[in-house]
Amino acid sequence: MNSPSARPWVLAETPYQYLKDNAYQLAVLPMGATEPHNLHLPYGTDWYEGTLIGETLCEHAWTQGARPVLLPTMPYGTETNLSRFPLAMNLNPSTLQLVLADLVESVERSGIRKMIILNSHGGNDFKPVLRELATRTKVHLFLCSWYTCLSDIYFEIFTNKEDHAGELETSFMLRYYPHLVAKNSDGSLAADSGATRPFRFEALQKSWVSITRPWHLLTQNSGSGNPHEASPEKGERLMEVLKTRLVPFIVQLCQADIDETFPFQDVELR
C-alpha cells in the first residue's frame, strides 16, 4: 500500500502504515513558545518559525535521500521573563526538562538514535537536560537554536540587532506569514520602536555579569530590537542561509554511522 502522505517527513501528516513499512534515521523536534511579540507579531511567532524552518530543512534533506522525521512543534516554552504579560504561557525550566526527557524517551523506544532539538525561543534552556540525558539515553542529541546559526553574517542581512520581535523575526513573518503581521493604515508596522531600558551597571552593560531580564521593565510592549527596517526579502535570505548551513548537516547526520567515536572524526590521538 502506498502512503497517502505527500510529506512523509512530517509526522503529523503521516499514517502508521508508512511507519510500518519505512524507517526514519533522525528525529527533529522544534521547540517554540507562546508569548507577545511587540504589538505587530502574533503570539505564535516562535511556533511558526520552528515549524516552517523544520519543514523546509527536512524537505530539502529528504529530496537528497536523507530520512528525517519532523515531530510536531512544542507550542510552549519558558516565559518567566515575560510573566507580567497576559497569556505568556510558561513552562518552568524544570518542567520543560521533564517534557523533553519524556519525548526523547519516546524517540528512543522507537529505535531512532539521533535527534535534533530545533529551538526557536531564547528563553528555553536545554543544555542542563542534555547534560543529564547524556548518561541516560541511547539517543544522540543535537541542539540547534537556529537564530544563532547566522551570527557571523547577521549584519550582512540585517541592520538592527535582534533580540525579540525585532528586524529578524519581523522579516521572517513578513515573508512567510504576512497576513499575521499587524500594520497601520499607511502600511507601516503597527509596532513600537523596540527600544529597551539600559542597565545602570557597567558590568551588566558589558555582559561581565548577567541576569534573567524582567521583560516588563526592559521593554515597552515586549519587543526588544527595532523591527521597522524588516522586509520579506530579508526573511527569505534568512531561510536561504539556514538551508545552506543546516540541510547538509541533516543529510550527513542521517547517513552517519554511530561508531565508537561518533560524532567525532575517527582519528588517532597522540
Residues near Zn ion (CB under 5 A) are: 45-46
- Shortest CB 146 distance to Zn ion, Å: 11
- Shortest CB 121 distance to Zn ion, Å: 6
Q: How many helices (H) and strands (E) does the chain have?
A: 9, 4
Residue 208 CB-half CA count within 13 A: 4
- Coil/strand/helix, residue 209: coil
45 or 226: CB nearest Zn ion:
45
Q: Which three cell numbers stand for residue 166?
A: 525585532
- Shortest CB 225 distance to Zn ion, Å: 10
9 or 215: CB nearest Zn ion:
215
45 or 51: CB nearest Zn ion:
45
8 or 223: CB nearest Zn ion:
223
45 or 124: CB nearest Zn ion:
45
CA distance 172 to 147: 11
247 contacts 64 by C-beta, under 8 angstroms: yes
Instruction: Tell me the residue nearest to Zn ion as measured from the CB.
Output: 46
- Shortest CB 199 distance to Zn ion, Å: 22
CA distance 20 to 77: 32
- Shortest CB 165 distance to Zn ion, Å: 6
Alpha carbon 134 to chain centroid distance? 21
> What number of residues does the chain have?
270
